[in-house]
């Protein structure tokens, strides 16, 4: 790999205008915001970015914009959410012309679930036809890949560099952590338990919390790496209370609302996803004010200004 993937890698929102096109200026603003917060990489086209709604052309343009903004300073991951091997490869090839560190790829997730051999064949063809490292995005509830299958994929396919493990079952992630082949990566997307994931040795996170409050998540990561578990647990408690207010079927819209509260133009969600409701906003506002107290980048900027 030409990029070192680790730490806090927020999956950026995709800002949409009222006519549901991508607001490119707002996307650039979001990338710059993340970089100011000291993140270790960014991801475009993930679930938080409503990647399931993006065309191949929209994903490629988003990646192009992100690569222009970071200019090689941090890695860019391209998310691919597709329902066929052919479509996944099409999207992968479209972004491969840019400086992409890795692909984040879901298993096929429509109602017809492929068995383990078909899933293996899917990722085998992808890694053979596209010369980019692949992180398996293990998120689909009705096609959730077992630790045994993930290990089989990582052992058998050199192009697969690791897994982004989602859902709330930390036991499955713990099983994966003790069985992954040497040199492979495990990123956590268990938003409620980022602290526990880091303490167990996860190589980083690509998840909604970092997309919403990146500075806080960087502070949590730094605390765990420094062995300051008292501080990390304090951040965890505030971050969990915050997470409980944004976690909903309109999670991407809620992340956009949180970004707007921090002065970032995050645009609108794409239909049929609803915007944050007044009831959601009232709960979010309370916990956002508390969790942002742990954003060390804000403290540093205020000290610099003073």
Residues of the chain short of pLDDT 70, as ranges, are 1-2, 168, 299-306
Please report the pLDDT score of residue 303 as a whole number: 47
Q: How far is it, in rounded angstroms, from Cα 159 to Cα 173? A: 21
Q: Give me 286's structure tokens.
A: 């309370």
Predicted TM-score (pTM) of the model is 0.96
- The question of whether 144 is a catalytic residue gets the answer no
Residue 62 burial (10 A CB sphere; 0-12, 13-18, 19+): buried
164 a catalytic residue: yes
pLDDT at 302: 44
Domains for the chain: give ranges and CATH numbers: 7-305 (3.20.20.70)
Q: What's the rounded Cα separation, in Å, for the pair 164 and 162?
A: 7
Q: Is the bond preceding 272 in cis, omega lying within 30 degrees of 0?
A: yes
The two three-digit tokens of residue 136, written as one number:
């398996």
DSSP run (H or E) holding 165: strand 160-165
Cα gap 295→97, rounded to integer Å:
35
Phi then psi for residue 59, to 5 deg, are -60, -45
Q: How far apart are CA 283 and CA 269, in angstroms?
A: 20
Q: Which of 164, 256, 257, 294 is catalytic?
A: 164
Phi then psi dihedrals of residue 142, to 5 deg: -90, 5
Catalytic residue among 2, 110, 113, 137: 137
Report the pLDDT value the prediction gives residue 2, as an integer from 0 to 100.
64
Between CA 190 and CA 272 the distance in angstroms is: 25
Give the C-alpha separation, 124 to 46, whole Å.
21
Q: Name the nearest CA neighbour of 185 among 209, 156, 214, 165.
A: 165
Per-residue pLDDT at 299: 56
Res 300: pLDDT: 56
Q: What is the pLDDT of residues 60-104, one digit of tens each?
A: 999 999 999 999 999 999 999 999 999 999 999 999 999 999 999
């Amino acid at each position: 790999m030409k990029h070192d993937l680790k730490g806090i890698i927020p999956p950026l929102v995709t800002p949409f205008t009222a006519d549901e096109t991508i607001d490119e200026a707002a996307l650039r603003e979001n990338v710059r915001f993340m970089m100011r917060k000291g993140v270790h990489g960014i991801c475009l086209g993930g679930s938080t970015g409503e990647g399931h709604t993006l065309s191949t052309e929209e994903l490629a343009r988003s990646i192009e914009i992100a690569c222009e903004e970071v200019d090689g300073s941090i890695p860019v991951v391209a998310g691919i959410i597709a329902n066929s091997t052919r479509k996944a490869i099409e999207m992968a090839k479209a972004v491969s012309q840019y400086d992409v560190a890795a692909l984040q790829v879901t298993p096929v997730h429509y109602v017809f679930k492929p068995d383990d051999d078909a899933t293996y064949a899917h990722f085998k063809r992808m890694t053979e036809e596209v010369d980019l490292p692949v992180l398996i995005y293990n998120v689909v509830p009705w096609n959730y890949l077992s630790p045994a299958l993930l290990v089989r994929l990582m052992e058998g396919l050199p192009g697969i560099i690791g897994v982004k493990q989602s859902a709330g079952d930390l036991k499955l992630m713990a099983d994966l952590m003790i069985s992954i082949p040497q040199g492979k990566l495990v990123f956590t997307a268990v938003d409620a338990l980022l602290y526990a994931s880091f303490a167990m040795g996860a190589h980083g996170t690509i998840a909604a919390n970092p997309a919403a409050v990146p500075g806080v998540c960087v502070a949590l990561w730094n605390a765990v790496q420094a062995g300051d578990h008292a501080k990390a647990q304090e951040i965890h408690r505030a971050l969990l209370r915050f997470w409980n207010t944004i976690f909903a079927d309109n999670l991407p819209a809620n992340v956009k609302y949180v970004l707007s509260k921090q002065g970032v133009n995050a645009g609108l969600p794409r239909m049929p996803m609803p915007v944050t409701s007044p009831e959601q906003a009232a709960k979010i506002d309370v916990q956002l004010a508390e969790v942002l107290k742990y954003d060390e980048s804000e403290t540093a900027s205020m000290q610099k200004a003073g």
